[in-house]
A and B are shown apart, each in its own frame.
Chain A
Amino acid sequence: MADAYLDNTAGGTPASPYNTYGVNEAHAFQELDLLALSAGDTIWAGSGHSETIAAFVDLDSGSGATPSYPQKLLCVSDPGTNTALVNAPSAYANAAAAYSMRFNGQWYVHGISWELSANSSSSDFIFGNAPSGNHNITISTSKFVLAPNSGSYASFGPASSTSNDNTQITLDSCVFGFKHVGNRLELRNGQHRIHNLSLGGGFLTVPTTLFSGGSGSTFDACVENSDLSGLLFTNLFDATTDACGVFTVRNVKLPVGCVYCAGTMSAPGLRFILDDCTIGTNKVPYYRRYYSGEVKYESKILPNTVSDRMVLAGDSAAYHSIKLEGSANASYLEPLYSDWMHVAIDDTSTAITLFAEILVSGDGAAALNNNQAWIEADIKDAPGIDNNQAHRYSDAPTTVIAAASVQDAGTISWTGHGYSSPRTHRLELGAAVTPAQKGYARVRIALAANTSIYVGKVGVA
């Protein structure tokens, strides 16, 4: 492993002290595209470094790199000692022609401001470009400004999956700026973790859509602890692309009125999960979008009796019902599920059953059958202290061709709906089960109809 030095603050030659390092002088570079690297090298960039490149920038760690020895590109505030990283994007690299900036292999990058300036759909940032290699790339405290072209994206992971792809992209405290409304962040193959993301960075163009899935890609992506309210984009995520994976948005400040998950999903492999976010001054405790429908936080339509209501964890005054809105794709074989809910089991001597009280949306709504809405529970009923296996129970018909029956009427009243003829049901396991293990049983509600229900109470009887 060796050190390399990147600085052309003086213009034309590496700036001091990189030009006076004696034996290291041979390793002083003026441009990123000129770097000649070996696995595990560290590139020290001066905070005043500024370059305009007329070539592809391929930061390629080489096949010899391992997670233990990533190549590092670090912008330091004091290049004389290289002891302190900058605390804001500082060194500047600009691709002025129709080129991309691409990161491959094992990298840790800190403190660089990257910009694409050419009006070209070929100018992209690609984190993990090569389609037949593994990537583990972490980038912190850096800025990325996309090109003024609708086809200019920041792409996470390679575009096409191969048997060798195993990609993890981590961005920490980075900012993205945009120069065209069509710019977006594209989630492609791999696992992507984005923490403390912000938008703008001095560029006022607002992208219509912030994130989309890459066509044919499979990903597990997460954006957390971020303030995305700086630009009033229309759509947080575009669901129309034929991608497969999970996109989770957690603890994020969103612009008012944005669509969380826009467009139509083409298949059940794509899942959108949003937790603990805000729009303006309003909280969005949770939201889900699946092929089979949407799951929404409902604060107005609730069980009438306070003790029957569910509360959000950590806020005993935040009453809510879970609204399940089944899409036209919701069916017995592809139902819309609520999240799993945990019910404490402290008694292994008594048979129990689990139930949920629901309200069907709409005044005078038709009754639901047990192949349209049902409860499922995972209960650890296998004896033996070393046996932690649970079995799944349900009040749905046992098979897709078994006859359905009307669900029982609800046993609680509801408020906030304004219906003169509310339709309620009590979903309950068909037979009592004796738990063999203390701990938690898991419960969820399934909706297999193009209608909506409110889940107001889940419990043990």
Chain B
Amino acid sequence: MSIVSSIYILDDHVQTDGTIWVTEHHTDSDGVVHQHSYQAPPGSVAAFFEARLSASAAWIEGRLAELEAERILNG
């Protein structure tokens, strides 16, 4: 199973300490959306969010493959 699209959504405001909540949506080939969020440090720019998004997509894809293999092995 692969991730076919990934997007990140910035909260519409920063927190008082300058951090901002970022929500990532990763859609797999079955159409399931895998969502999680993190707090980006103050002053984060697009390159940070994109690198983070790419790392998350790769990780989720790997985990889905592991879980699929586990399901096959365990019936």
Chain A: residues with CB nearer than 8 A to chain B? 208-209, 215, 234-235, 238-241, 256-264, 279-280, 282-284, 289, 294, 296, 298-301, 327, 416-418
Contact = CB atoms under 8 A, between A and B. Distances in A.
Task: Pick from A208, A239, A263, A279 the residue with the most CB of B within 10 Å.
Answer: A263
A281 to B, nearest CB: 8
Nearest to B23: A325
Given A215-B70, A264-B32, A259 B38 contact: yes
Contacts of B64: 240
A264 B48 CA distance: 22
A89 B66 CA distance: 34
Nearest to A262: B36
Nearest to A151: B66
A238 to B, nearest CB: 7
Given A240-B63, A279-B41, A282-B18, 19 more contacts: A208-B55, A208-B59, A234-B56, A234-B59, A238-B63, A259-B38, A261-B36, A262-B59, A262-B60, A263-B63, A264-B34, A264-B35, A279-B19, A282-B41, A299-B15, A300-B14, A300-B15, A327-B35, A416-B13
A interface majority secondary structure: loop
A219 to B, nearest CB: 18
Q: What 6 A-B pairs have minimum CB-CB distances, sorted nearest first? A: A299-B16, A259-B38, A264-B34, A256-B41, A299-B15, A282-B17
B41 A418 contact: no
Given A238-B63, A299-B16, A280 B34 contact: no
B32 A257 contact: no
Contact of A282 (B13, B36, B42): B42
Contact of A280 (B32, B35, B37, B41): B41
Given A260-B38, A300-B15, A209 B32 contact: no
A299 B42 CA distance: 14
A235 B36 CA distance: 10
A424 B19 CA distance: 25
A132 B48 CA distance: 47
29 contacts: A208-B59, A209-B59, A235-B59, A238-B63, A240-B34, A241-B67, A257-B52, A258-B38, A259-B56, A260-B38, A262-B36, A262-B59, A263-B34, A263-B36, A263-B63, A264-B36, A279-B19, A282-B17, A282-B18, A282-B39, A282-B42, A284-B39, A294-B37, A298-B15, A299-B17, A300-B13, A300-B15, A301-B13, A417-B13
Contacts of B36: 239, 259, 261-264, 289
A246 B13 CA distance: 31
A197 to B, nearest CB: 21
A282 B16 CA distance: 10
Interface in B1-27: 12-19, 21
Contacts of A241: 67
